[in-house]
Structure 1
Amino acid sequence: MTDDAGDAGSWVSLFSGGKDSSWALYQALERGLPVERLVTVHPDGDSYMYHVPATRLAALAAESVGIPLVEVEPDDFAASETVDSGAQGDAELEPLEAALDELAEELPGGLAGVTAGAVESEYQTSRIEAMADRLGADVFAPLWQQEPRDLADAMLDAGFEIRVIRVAAGGLDESWLGRRLDADAFDELEALNEQYGVHILGEGGEFETLVTDGPHMERAIRLDYETDWDGTRGTLRIEDAWLE
């Protein structure tokens, strides 16, 4: 894994539209990496490897960023009855690897590397690194093992507008759904980390986000939504979304 530009060739950003993958993309662009494609995986149901909610909005984000998007659809996933998390993670990676292998044939200079938004997950990172090795590509992961609050502050300082689109942890109630993450929100998340162990960036799946505006985007994403809340966890039900 690297935090510097690698060999000549094209880069692909693993992109969900959430804050972590968006920050990795933004940092890659700031460093001058030639990101030629964004790749979004749409899992069918829960996933060990991928951000799940509202991934369809990645198309709007990509339009705003101005980089072509490649979408990996649920039909591309092999059916699996395994309950072993390691085997499931490996199986989930297969359609992404196939898509990247295909992209490598058409990208200028081939596939030089991929960006990843991993912060602390060895489970995800080890698999992404192994996949990149098989493809002969580098991995650019600027969030890896960074201090979570420092990352949060850097995102806010850069002008990221981040909305919470799913919560699934103690201390996070329905009021967090649709909330914009600002300094006060991250202060509250730090307190929830001390009380409940909630990761400040939601790295353990405690919450999921969507970046609706940022310095890498030409137009902001705007949403009409309702909230689905079952008493312990909830998700935004997006009724409409558009670029401002």
Structure 2
Amino acid sequence: MNWIALFSGGKDSSWALYRALDSGRTVSRLLTVHPAADSYMYHVPATDLAALAADSIGIDLLEVESAVGTDGVVDSGTQGDAELEPLERALSDLDTAVGVDGIIAGAVESEFQTTRIEAMAERLDAETYTPLWERDPVALAEAMLAAGFEIQIVQVAAAGLDESWLGRSLDRAALEELIALNERYGVHVLGEGGEFETLVTDGPHMDRPIELEYAVEWDGTRGKLQVTDAWLGE
């Protein structure tokens, strides 16, 4: 079977890809959607670094620009369907070119995303592989760290996550703090509600690590890394 991995460079899509490769699945393409604005469907920050990650992984990357964003939109369902359209067109083109037998996705708990991806896969007559789906978030984070994933936090937007979290590694100490923040504020341990976003800078599926230079943008309640340079290290 020929599998296509939906890939942002963040921890969830990277873990889904890693699990797929580890299980012997043949992944011929990574597919990244670059949203024009905040998105109901896609990971937004630092997706421009997916190309570096793909180079390190050694799998061809297809990048899709989406003019659709959530600005001014009230109906999230209609918006989610609209955001899916450029992804489905790209997968349909890939199906014609190389064949798409299966789609790999890193969804954890979002019914909003998962139901749309599954419906799209059905229309393409493709299977889905979602190894994170409905797994315990703490166990998932521990598995990522045990496998050797190096994860950097690139955006935060939640109570308890201040400027000091930007650029921080999601290591075991950070995980313990996230568990405490979950108990106090309800922060999702994997950031599934948009509390934080990540970039995987190294892992067992990558030949070389991603190195970054960046500035920190912080408005008092939320912030992100503004990457000024990025390259593959040795």
The answer, yes or no, to whether TM exceeds 0.5 is yes
Q: Are 2:28 and 1:36 aligned?
A: yes
What SS does structure 1 have at the residue aligned with 2:108? coil
C-alpha distance in structure 2 between counterparts of 1:200 and 1:78, whole Å:
26
C-alpha distance in structure 2 between counterparts of 1:79 and 1:162, whole Å:
27
Q: 2:117 aligns with which of 110, 128, 142?
A: 128
2:95 is aligned with what amino acid? Answer: A
Q: Are 2:18 and 1:26 aligned?
A: yes
1:101 is aligned with what amino acid? Answer: S
TM-score relative to the length of structure 2: 0.97
C-alpha distance in structure 2 between counterparts of 1:24 and 1:234, whole Å:
26
Q: 1:106 aligns with which of 83, 97, 101?
A: 97
- Contact residue 163 and residue 223 of structure 2 kept, 8 A: yes
Matches within 5 A, 1:88-167: 88-107=79-98, 110-167=99-156
Q: Which runs of 4+ in 1 moved over 3 A?
A: 77-82
Mind listing any 5+ residue stretches in structure 2 that lack a counterpart? Answer: none
CA deviation after TM superposition for structure 1 residue 128, in Å: 0.4
- Contact residue 80 and residue 88 of structure 1 kept, 8 A: no
C-alpha distance in structure 2 between counterparts of 1:83 and 1:66, whole Å:
40
Matches within 5 A, 1:190-201: 190-201=179-190
Query: In percent, how many aligned pairs have the same letter?
Result: 67
Aligned length: 233
1:23 is aligned with what amino acid? Answer: W
1:184-207 per-position Cα deviation (integer Å, ceiling 9, x unaligned): 100000000011100000000000
- Residue 230 (structure 1) aligns with: 219
CA deviation after TM superposition for structure 1 residue 82, in Å: 4.2
Matches within 5 A, 1:206-221: 206-221=195-210
Q: 1:179 aligns with which of 164, 168, 182?
A: 168
What SS does structure 1 have at the residue aligned with 2:154? strand
TM-score relative to the length of structure 1: 0.93
C-alpha distance in structure 1 between counterparts of 2:216 and 2:146, whole Å:
28
Mind listing any 5+ residue stretches in structure 1 that lack a counterpart? Answer: 1-8
CA deviation after TM superposition for structure 1 residue 74, in Å: 2.8
CA deviation after TM superposition for structure 1 residue 83, in Å: 1.9
Matches within 5 A, 1:28-107: 28-75=20-67, 77=68, 82-107=73-98
